[in-house]
Amino acid sequence: MSQSLQADPPLLSVEQVEVFYEQSILALRGVSLQVGKGQMVALLGANGAGKSTTLKAISNLVRAERGEVTKGRILYQGQEITDADPASLVLAGLAQVLEGRHCFTHLSVEQNLLVGGFVGRPSRKVLNQRLERIYGYFPRLRLLRKRLAGYTSGGEQQMVAIGRALMSEPRLLLLDEPSMGLAPQVVEEIFEILARLNREEGLSLLVAEQNINIALDYAQYAFVLENGRVVDAGSAAELAGREQMQNYYLGAVG
């Protein structure tokens, strides 16, 4: 799979990106990575390595936190998006699931999902078709559709957050720490669904994770971040076989 990364033009290309917060804190130092079409790529690193900043630079949400891409460029579908409006990126098929789930707790599960589908103002018929698709992948959400999101479990809220992003029908989905704070069996269930979306629909994914074991089980390719730099990259199988992945890069997380 690493060969296909080089053979085909990548869906996403991050080229030597540098990010500063408040014009003084250097968060990313020349980060380069790619996601091929139909590929599931893991972005690995310890807490504070720069994973969230990398995802927010791609979706241009970094500005909301007084951050700025000061060097390098980001290409999506061959077009530069370094300074693109985040809403226009969602319309172009690039969606992000933020760390911490961020459900609307006072809305029902189904209302939360519908919020993600209003981009581009689809008809009610199209929205219903998209809902059915989400419920097909997340049958638990169908059972909970009328329940307030605030009264669901952490795993169910993560499913809601992912389903809400999928309602915009993205080509590329960015996920920030989807396993955080969840029981191992729930994490496995979520990654199984992501793998199905990747396999059955050709959805491309860039998944930032501290849990290297689960990430390398499901991803085809991975990049390792440390102190805002990419320090290693390779096929998931290749990286999983490297002892220093646990001992050195990530402090045996996962």
pLDDT in tens, 161-212: 999 999 999 999 999 999 999 999 999 999 999 999 999 999 999 999 989 8
* pLDDT mean over 106-123: 91
Domain 1-93+172-254 matching CATH 3.30.420.40: the answer reads no
pTM over 0.85: yes
Exposure class string for 115-133: b at 16+ Cβ within 10 A, else e: ebbeeeebeeeebeebbeb
| Number of neighbours of residue 169 by Cβ within 10 angstroms | 19
46: its two tokens: 């310890």
What are the tens digits of pLDDT across the range 202-231? 999 999 998 989 999 999 999 999 999 999
Whole-number Å distance between alpha carbons of 54 and 203? 20
Going from N- to C-terminal start, the domains of the chain cover: 1-93+172-254, 101-169
Give the residue among 104, 105, 103 at the shortest CA–CA distance from 150: 105
Say if CB 75 and CB 12 are below 8 A apart.
yes
> Binning pLDDT at 50, 70 and 90, where does residue 99 land?
confident
> Binning pLDDT at 50, 70 and 90, where does residue 51 land?
very high
